[in-house]
Amino acid sequence: MSLSDSRDGNWLAVLKVMKYSPDKGYFTLHGATSEEINHYLGYNFKELALEMGALRFGTRAEIEDETSRTANQLAMVVPKGDLRSLAFAYTVTRALAVINDFGLEA
């Protein structure tokens, strides 16, 4: 998970997900949509992230008015120092993704 300053001085966390790569035969980091995460999480990721303390959640274009090639990356903005929200997002995008076999076809 990469962190940078958001436009309002908070932390912007880019959310990449551990997804199984059939070509490599193991899990690697990939971009994912909220809908994909909602599916393996069994809950609305955005709602839960906001409940856990995120200030904004969505693509970088939606939450930071980003226009570069990274504009479609899923991200959230949290208050500086909010380790709880970051730990939650890390658990969902890494551990739970692997536990729920994200990317493996049934």
* Per-residue pLDDT reduced to its tens digit, 6-30: 999 999 999 999 999 989 999 999 9
Question: Between β-strands 56-59 and 74-78, what pairing exists: parallel, antiparallel or unpaired?
Answer: antiparallel
Residue 24 lies in a domain: yes
Q: What is the pLDDT of residue 37?
A: 96
The string of pLDDT tens digits covering residues 16-73 is: 999 999 899 999 999 999 999 999 999 999 999 999 999 999 999 999 998 999 999 9
Residue 52 lies in a domain: yes
* 35: nearest Cα among 61, 77, 74, 3: 74
Residue 106 lies in a domain: no
Residue 41 DSSP class: H
Q: What is the pLDDT of residue 6?
A: 95
Average pLDDT over residues 76-89: 97
Give the residue numbers spanning the domain of 80: 2-99
Residue 84 lies in a domain: yes
Strands (E), the chain: 2-5, 11-14, 17-21, 26-30, 56-59, 74-78
Q: How confident is the model at residue 105 (pLDDT cuts 50, 70, 90)?
A: low
Q: What is the pLDDT of residue 1?
A: 85
Q: How confident is the model at residue 104 (pLDDT cuts 50, 70, 90)?
A: confident
Residue 33 lies in a domain: yes
**Overall domain count for the chain:** 1
